[in-house]
Structure 1
């Protein structure tokens, strides 16, 4: 039986989702792939828990929920964070789940490059440093001959990167158009069904935990723009960065505008368009009953290919366990590749 020792960097909603997913699926992975997953370290913004023999997933989650700090994990909690954690324990794969930062990509960028330099594989959910430095990061992974997977950076549980790279590998992709942010889709869906104002639905979304306390990255289109950059680079080979995307959010959408659209059989959705001629995120009219007519926190995307025609995918675009499912799937892909 082989061990796969992992570190979870970032123990917010996604990092906790990864710990829960490992707890739920480690026996399946052991039976099907002959690999025993061990979390040898987990770190939040300022503290960590580290044990070469492995940490208990449920106790990690319990500690974080009850005290807010991983330093309170019995016996193995401490004050180390970020790079220090990577240097404190031997591991095989880094789950990089620190918050998205579109200013300089830190700390995710440094953590990922550090892991590569030590010959470690990385699975990330972090859009920030890929939106800023996609080519640099991919080049670094190739130079060190390590596996780097990032399905969770786009669409949560909606499969698109691996779908195109694996299932549609014979096809050339000419464009991708879709809804890439679950929070804005939820807000617009509720405004459409209830006739409520943007401010009222945003406040309710924050109370439900669907929207962040500071919702700017979602509602101003920043999150969808980051995903646009990642898809442009990874699936269309366009060497774009965040500054190449035209971005407009939904904060100026009124209930009156939504009502006018409905009268003519249309909906307003925040749409990302990725093609060699256009990288754009903006509110757009879509036909009711079309593939873009999805509600709640669902994401969707239509991939236009030369051989397979148009292929549309739909999946939950928000949620800790949903995003973690994409990260765990990426790890399983790495295990398959190495076996």
Structure 2
């Protein structure tokens, strides 16, 4: 039985979510795939916990919750240790990169991912920033060093948008991509429409339910959706674009209850929609008919692929939540295990 070693860098909602789902599914992974993965290091903003024999994930999660850092993990915690230091000193086959999104330069996640690949590690990430600013640099490094770069969790929360397109539509040419890809704004617009409330009231409810971050700026101004569309355009349309190539990104900050009422009179609602094809790449609020297949509510995501052979394919599913996102990171990890077994 193989025992791949894993480093987790970033232990916020997504990193902890990955630790939880790995713990939940550990026995299944062992029984079904003959693999016994070990997390040998966890890094957060204040330090790290390192044990070459493997960390107890339940203990790590408890320490993080109670002490606010894994650096106080008994016997194996170290304050002020950085992610790059861990990558340099700790042997592992896989990096799970879960640091916060930075759309300016992709850091620090971009450096972690590049260093991991240059030292022969596979990378799994839910971090949109590095891929939105340096998709092809990362892709080329993974090929150069014969490692896998897995990023399905960057788009769609728990919905397998990228993997569906890559594996199930591989014989098709994808002509265009159109979708509702931000669960937070979709929830907010749904509540504004149903309850006739202001955007401020809907944001407050989203925060209370844990659907959005305490600072939802990237959601509301369209940045999050824009990053996802850049990733999709690169991964599925081979567009070679970065976040800076979007001419303009419009969010939902100016949408009012009156706008939604007027849309309803036309048999429509308003959704924050991303669109990409051979020439266009845009994100903006759009009128969407109620009978449109991407007209989903609350925290659902929906993406429509237009293809040359299969015509229109629509996928929808839950787009918010650390467990949902971590489920795709777990799937990416299993795909790496399977590919190594088949070599």
Residue 110 of structure 1: CA displacement?
Answer: 0.4
Partner residue, 2:54: 54
Aligned counterparts of 2:298 and 2:52: Cα–Cα separation in 1: 41
User: How far is the alpha carbon of 1:209 from its aligned partner?
Assistant: 2.1
Q: Which of 300, 317, 320 is residue 318 of structure 1 equivalent to?
A: 320
User: How many residues matched?
Assistant: 339
Q: Tell me which moved more, 108-117 or 74-83.
A: 74-83
Whether 1:159 and 2:170 are equivalent positions in the alignment is no
Which residue of structure 2 aligns with residue 261 of structure 1? Answer: 263
In the alignment, which residue of structure 2 is the partner of 1:168?
169
The CA distance in 1 between the partners of 2:43 and 2:105, in whole Å, is: 21
Counterparts of 2:86 and 2:154, CA distance in 1: 23
CA displacement at 1:167 relative to structure 2: 1.2
Partner Cα separation in structure 1 for residue 109 and residue 255 of structure 2: 33
Deviations 1:188-233 (A, max 9, x none): 0111111101111112212322221221110000000000100000
1:331 corresponds in structure 2 to 333
Give the secondary structure class of the aligned counterpart of 1:109: helix
Name the structure 1 match of 2:276. 274
Shift of 1:264: 2.0
| CA distance, structure 1, for counterparts of residue 97 and residue 150 of structure 2 | 10
- Map of 1:2 onto structure 2: 2
2: CA distance between counterparts of 1:288 and 1:244? 31
Q: For residues 109-148 of structure 1, what are the structure 2 equivalents within 5 Å?
A: 109-148=110-149
Measure the CA separation in 2 of the matches of 1:70 and 1:81. 12
> SS of 1:110's equivalent?
helix
Secondary structure (helix, strand or coil) at the match of 1:48 reads strand
Residue 308 of structure 2 corresponds to 306
Identify the residue that residue 23 of structure 2 maps to in structure 1. Answer: 23
1:36 aligns with 2:36: yes
- C-alpha distance in 2 between matches for 1:9 and 1:181: 24
Give the alignment's TM-score, normalised by structure 1. 0.98
> Using the alignment, how far apart are the partners of 2:291 and 2:47 within structure 1?
49
Residue of structure 2 in register with 1:197 after alignment:
198
Which residue of the partner structure matches residue 233 of structure 2? Answer: 232
Corresponding position of 1:206 = 207
TM-score by length of 2: 0.97
Deviation at 1:4, TM superposition (A): 1.2
Assess if the C-alpha contact under 8 Å between 2:294 and 2:314 holds in 1: no
1:282-293 pair list within 5 angstroms? 282-293=284-295
Secondary structure in 1 matching 2:65? helix
Shift of 1:289: 2.8
| CA distance in structure 2 between the partners assigned to 1:24 and 1:88 by the alignment | 28
Structure 1 unaligned blocks of 5 or more: none
Q: In the TM superposition, what whole-angstrom CA distance separates every residue of 1:234-285 from its partner, at most 9, and x where no partner exists?
A: 0000011101223100000001111111122111000000111210000001
Structure 2: unaligned runs, 5 residues or longer: none
